[in-house]
Amino acid sequence: MFSPLPRSFPAGEGLQQLHADSTLGRSCLASGHAMRSTVHSIAAFEPRPVCLRCRRPKGSCYCELIPRLDTTTRVVLLQHPRERDMPIGTARMANLSLPNSELHVGVNWQQSAALLSAISDPQRPALLLYPGDDATDVARRPPAGPVTLVVVDGTWSQAKKMIRENPILRELPRFTFQPPNPSEYRIRREPKPNCVSTIEALVFALGALEGEPVRFRALLLPFRRMIDRQIELKELNHSSPSRRVIKKKRAPPSIPIALRERRDDIVCVVGEANAWPWCAGELRTAYPDELVHWVAQRLSTGEVFESIVAPRSPLAPNTTKHISLDAEQLHSGGTLEDLHSRWREFIRDTDILCSWGCYATNLWASSGGYLPPLRFDLRGLAKELLKRNIGTMDRFLLSIDENPCHSDASGRAGVRLGELVRIAECFSGGRIVPQRQHAACDLPAGT
């Protein structure tokens, strides 16, 4: 027996891993600065530069170790949506390493045209890599010709449920194998000693199917790097005395002093991407999100910065609709280098950058552009201060300020910039009042 999906690690522990990583990223990015204590005590955020290919923080990127392994086998990875957000998953790694593979995310595959098309190739009959009483051992009795190998990626119980509820998967011929080695997945506990990760299952299965067991061991290179890195971060996180000190000294939430007292330094930013949707499968893998529109406004002077960057990848079908710029505007945009140098003239090291969430600033950092050291995610800050879900930027703004917004910048980014500037004004003017959990006014009347 083996588990092609080694999700023995409870979700909570997986999240801890992510947190360990994120804590480290923040500590590294927080440069020596007068506002440092504020940055740690509140949700001031230091966005981690993220590699858009492997979606790991830059310090944990394993892309340089990703092999390119051509196969006659077509590999179809079906990922449970919860697995997609796991920082230490391996399906994406496998997808990046195998050109003849595709990664689909979902739960209900009965109506999936993508899956139906993938498993209907008469030249490559489909089989499911999953254990079972009637499963054939792929190493002992490999199929005669090339096949389409369907692999489910999720926890043990997610995979079981997915197969139970999708006859299209249940009815596929089933193949399994005996893992020759124990799993190297040291960062997750396996439900059974002989359970392995998705990528390890592929090493064994493809080795047998393609008759070249040694060649596919290259898949383990990025996998081992990821595991070593996670263990390193976990140890670092546990041994760092500064973390404990910060926890003990945590102050009650309040608007950071920098936002209240340094209005002249506040700059709001919004970025837009040419982003291929998840359903685009291979195209999304081939063309990671790329920055195409970057707008900013200085709070005190109203000075606006705007730059459109020509897409470097093919334009995704909905990009123009989403970002409200037409294809001509985008294609006549400048280069990233132009944008970076113009931006460097606009932005000062002492500026305080305000964004809504981290996506835009991560996108910007991934493009190689400069960001000043002090930055705030106003959405995260609002959530922490008000202790409630914040929702979209326009709804949140309506809840705190009903004055109309305006920005000179174009497209959807321009609209959002106008909204973000008003929100930043509210923070700066102290008009967002922190909720205290045990405030006197919370007591029922008559007490």
CA atoms within 13 A on the CB side of 149: 33
**Any contact of residue 53 with Zn ion (CB under 5 A)?**
yes
Q: What is the rounded CA–CA span in Å between residue 19 and residue 34? A: 25
CB of 92 to Zn ion, least distance (A): 10
> Nearest 5°: CA angle at 87, between 129 and 102?
40
> Is residue 421 within 8 Å of residue 427, measured between CB atoms?
no
Output 291 or 308, the one with its CB closest to Zn ion.
Answer: 291
Q: What is the rounded CA–CA span in Å between residue 163 and residue 165? A: 5
Which H or E run includes 274? strand 266-274
Closest residue to Zn ion, Cβ-based? 51
> Is residue 268 within 8 Å of residue 355, measured between CB atoms?
yes
Tokens of 384: 């922490």
Output 30 or 63, the one with its CB closest to Zn ion.
Answer: 63
Within 8 A by CB and 6+ apart from 149, the residues are 73, 74, 75, 76, 126, 127, 129, 205, 206, 209
CB of 362 to Zn ion, least distance (A): 13
Q: Which stretch binds Zn ion (CB under 5 A): 59-67, 174-182, 284-292, 316-324?
A: 59-67
Output 51 or 139, the one with its CB closest to Zn ion.
Answer: 51
Q: Which of 30, 63, 218, 386 binds Zn ion (CB under 5 A)?
A: 63
| Cα 215 to chain centroid, rounded | 30
Q: Of 166, 127, 151, 154, give the one whose Cα is nearest residue 77.
A: 151
Query: 101-105 and 148-153: which strand pairing?
Result: unpaired
**Any contact of residue 88 with Zn ion (CB under 5 A)?**
no
CB of 303 to Zn ion, least distance (A): 36
CB of 87 to Zn ion, least distance (A): 12
CB of 375 to Zn ion, least distance (A): 22
Output 92 or 416, the one with its CB closest to Zn ion.
Answer: 92
CB of 155 to Zn ion, least distance (A): 24
Q: Which of 20, 54, 267, 360 binds Zn ion (CB under 5 A)?
A: 54
Name the DSSP class of 104. E
Within 8 A by CB and 6+ apart from 65, the residues are 221, 222, 225
> Is residue 80 within 8 Å of residue 162, measured between CB atoms?
yes
Q: Which stretch binds Zn ion (CB under 5 A): 58-66, 79-87, 255-263, 361-369?
A: 58-66
Q: Which of 20, 39, 61, 219 binds Zn ion (CB under 5 A)?
A: 61
Give the binding-site size for Zn ion (rule: CB under 5 A). 5
**Any contact of residue 65 with Zn ion (CB under 5 A)?**
no
**Any contact of residue 51 with Zn ion (CB under 5 A)?**
yes
CB of 96 to Zn ion, least distance (A): 9
Tokens of 13: 């522990």
CB of 350 to Zn ion, least distance (A): 32
Tokens of 298: 């200085």
Q: Which stretch binds Zn ion (CB under 5 A): 43-51, 93-101, 209-217, 233-241?
A: 43-51
Output 54 or 226, the one with its CB closest to Zn ion.
Answer: 54
Query: Cα dihedral sign for 73, 79, 85, 88?
Result: negative
Tokens of 215: 């060649």
Q: What is the rounded CA–CA span in Å between residue 359 and residue 353? A: 14
Output 54 or 352, the one with its CB closest to Zn ion.
Answer: 54
CB of 93 to Zn ion, least distance (A): 10
CB of 58 to Zn ion, least distance (A): 8
- The alpha carbons of the chain give a radius of gyration, in whole angstroms, of 25
CB of 235 to Zn ion, least distance (A): 22
> Is residue 152 within 8 Å of residue 130, measured between CB atoms?
yes
Identify the three-state secondary structure at position 234: helix
The binding track of 8-37 with respect to Zn ion, each residue x by CB under 5 A or -, is ------------------------------
Tokens of 198: 């998705």
Output 56 or 74, the one with its CB closest to Zn ion.
Answer: 56
**Any contact of residue 316 with Zn ion (CB under 5 A)?**
no
Tokens of 189: 């506990």
Q: Which stretch binds Zn ion (CB under 5 A): 53-61, 201-209, 400-408, 430-438?
A: 53-61
Output 53 or 342, the one with its CB closest to Zn ion.
Answer: 53
Q: Which stretch binds Zn ion (CB under 5 A): 62-70, 117-125, 135-143, 269-277?
A: 62-70
Binding site for Zn ion (CB under 5 A): 51, 53-54, 61, 63
